[in-house]
Chain A
Amino acid sequence: MAESLLTIEGLCVRYGGIEAVRSLDMEVATGETVVIVGANGAGKSSVMNAVMGMVPSVEGRMTFDGRDVTSMPTADRAKLGIRISPEGRRVFANLTIEENILAGGYTMGAKDREASVAWLFDTFPLLSKRRTARAGTLSGGQQQLVAIARALTARPKLLLLDEPFLGLSPVAIGDTSAAISVVQAQGMAVLISEQMARPALKLASRGYVLRAGALRRSGDVAEIRELALSEDYL
């Protein structure tokens, strides 16, 4: 396995008295695509948000790119090269597609940002055509592409995709999968969470299965697929 980019050891996340994630160990290597499979409420989003720093990890240790990020504020993690396309997309609804993508490059210099935006519009002609449309007016599939593009502007080392296929039409699932392949081709590491793991399993090389906040199984995608099938996850 290549050098480890993200290492999570003994992660616990709690909301009030409820334990959403329990002593979880997880690893993502540089350039690798990893999937987290689990039912609704299994703790997938909590893991994603904890990696981004949007929820505090109450226990455990997290290192990213050789640095301890356990208690690092969200904006600093972003600066280090972590980006998220969150559950429910959460595009900036009143900003245009172009402004959303520019916002993703907030930490970059103007020149790099412009170059990145040009590359993204080149890569996603669907977005280029509607660049001045307000993101709030787009369909779910288009919003998912905007959320991914926005997360890519700064060319992160690790892209977190929280349920990118949820609620999308088959065509939009295809577009989103294609977008994720573009990310992989850039050599970025990707952590995808999914309930409906089929499209995600096609993209990933390894996976983790979560149930009720605890790690149930980890392994290569073939093993995960087998386990998930036998337990009716798919």
Chain B
Amino acid sequence: MGEFLQTMIGGLTLGAQYALMALGFSLAFGILRVINFAHGAFYVVGGYLAYWITNEVGLPYVLGVIVAVLGTAAIGYVFELFIIERRIDDHLATIVMTLGASLIGGAAMLSLFGAQAVQFEGGLTGTFRLGGVFVPHARVMIIVVAGLAIAAVYLLLYKTQVGNALRALTDDREMAVAMGMRPKVLFPMAFAIATGLAGLTGALVTPQFSLAPFVGEHVLMISFLAVILGGLGSLPGAVIASVLVGLVEAFVGTYVGGSWAPLILFTGILVLLVVRPSGLLGHRTIIDA
């Protein structure tokens, strides 16, 4: 029972991490039609920003998280406005641009903080007892903050006029523009929200896992898979699939063996996509999109 609970909490923490990442990735794809290969780099930059504020400047961790979110959102905003926006409809160009940004982000962190993983301290410490196991506060915090961030994105998209416009742009960009919506205003904003979510994830998670210049790639790949599994463009699908992926990873790790987790996970996703090419909640396939 104890082991089950521990695995459950571990899986939910992973799932929350993937969900936040996948949500941002899915937003950028859905609204801008840009596959953001730099999404993992924003996670890393968010992690380092929080690390820098907390461990090098010496301010409280909460401030580190806030700076990470605002910093990555600002970088995302500028990157979209001045670089992506110029070639927004050229999918190959945006892939190359975001790949380039990803390499630059990693290389910048490498020069500033070195190749070694840094020891990120100052996040939440301590544990509490639940059903006979010790649960770290930090894990609960990750799950709660991720839940709140997802709720905030939901409220923005479904309860505000800007959110309505963003969803209209997702459905039919040309018609949305014909209603007076301006991609040049709304796209940088949407991209900033997406990269800010990646920065938030990095700031929350890297004190628990590891922080090195290229750790974002693994997280990006898993989130990308979750996005496809959930149904490309479906935000609820991305979140649900991310939690599933986190749970599968944790449970396979505990009950089958850690090294089996990726194999079982990726095979499972492949089989599922053969059976249901549009993903769990998707209504379009990767090819239509």
Which A residues are closer than 8 A to B by beta carbons? 52, 54, 74-75, 78-79, 83-84, 86, 90, 92-95, 99-100, 102-104, 106-107, 110, 113, 150, 154
Taking a contact as CB atoms under 8 Å apart, the answer to whether A103 and B178 are in contact is no
Task: Encode B153-168 as 1/0 by CB contact (under 8 A) with A.
Answer: 0000000010011011
Number of residues of chain B lying within 8 A (CB) of chain A? 17
Q: Contacts A90-B172, A92-B172 known; A106 to B167 CB distance under 8 Å?
A: no
Taking a contact as CB atoms under 8 Å apart, the answer to whether A79 and B180 are in contact is yes
A53 to B161 CA separation, bound complex (whole angstroms): 24
Q: Contacts A54-B178, A75-B177 known; A102 to B161 CB distance under 8 Å?
A: yes
Taking a contact as CB atoms under 8 Å apart, the answer to whether A103 and B170 are in contact is no
Residue among A79, A92, A154 making CB contact with B175, cutoff 8 Å: A92
A124 to B253 CA separation, bound complex (whole angstroms): 57
Tell me the smallest distance from the CB of A202 to a CB of chain B, in Å.
27
A86 to B178 CA separation, bound complex (whole angstroms): 10
Which residues on the A side are within 8 Å of B171 (C-beta)?
92-95
Taking a contact as CB atoms under 8 Å apart, the answer to whether A92 and B168 are in contact is yes
Which B residues are closer than 8 A to A by beta carbons? 161, 164-165, 167-168, 170-172, 174-182
Which residues on the B side are within 8 Å of A110 (C-beta)?
161
Which residues on the B side are within 8 Å of A93 (C-beta)?
171-172
Tell me the smallest distance from the CB of B180 to a CB of chain A, in Å.
4
Residue among B161, B170, B172 making CB contact with A106, cutoff 8 Å: B161
Taking a contact as CB atoms under 8 Å apart, the answer to whether B179 and A83 are in contact is yes
Taking a contact as CB atoms under 8 Å apart, the answer to whether A90 and B175 are in contact is yes
Taking a contact as CB atoms under 8 Å apart, the answer to whether B180 and A95 are in contact is no
Taking a contact as CB atoms under 8 Å apart, the answer to whether B168 and A78 are in contact is no
Residue of A nearest to B163 (CB): A99
Tell me the smallest distance from the CB of B267 to a CB of chain A, in Å.
32
Which residues on the A side are within 8 Å of B172 (C-beta)?
90, 92-93
Q: Count chain A CB atoms within 10 A of each CB in B167, B176, B179 and give the residue with the most.
A: B179
A84 to B217 CA separation, bound complex (whole angstroms): 44
A110 to B161 CA separation, bound complex (whole angstroms): 9
Tell me the smallest distance from the CB of B174 to a CB of chain A, in Å.
6
A52 to B176 CA separation, bound complex (whole angstroms): 12
Taking a contact as CB atoms under 8 Å apart, the answer to whether B181 and A75 are in contact is yes
Which residues on the A side are within 8 Å of B167 (C-beta)?
92, 94-95, 99
Taking a contact as CB atoms under 8 Å apart, the answer to whether A102 and B164 are in contact is yes
Tell me the smallest distance from the CB of B171 to a CB of chain A, in Å.
4
Tell me the smallest distance from the CB of B169 to a CB of chain A, in Å.
9
Residue among A54, A79, A95, A107 making CB contact with B174, cutoff 8 Å: A54
Residue of A nearest to B181 (CB): A106
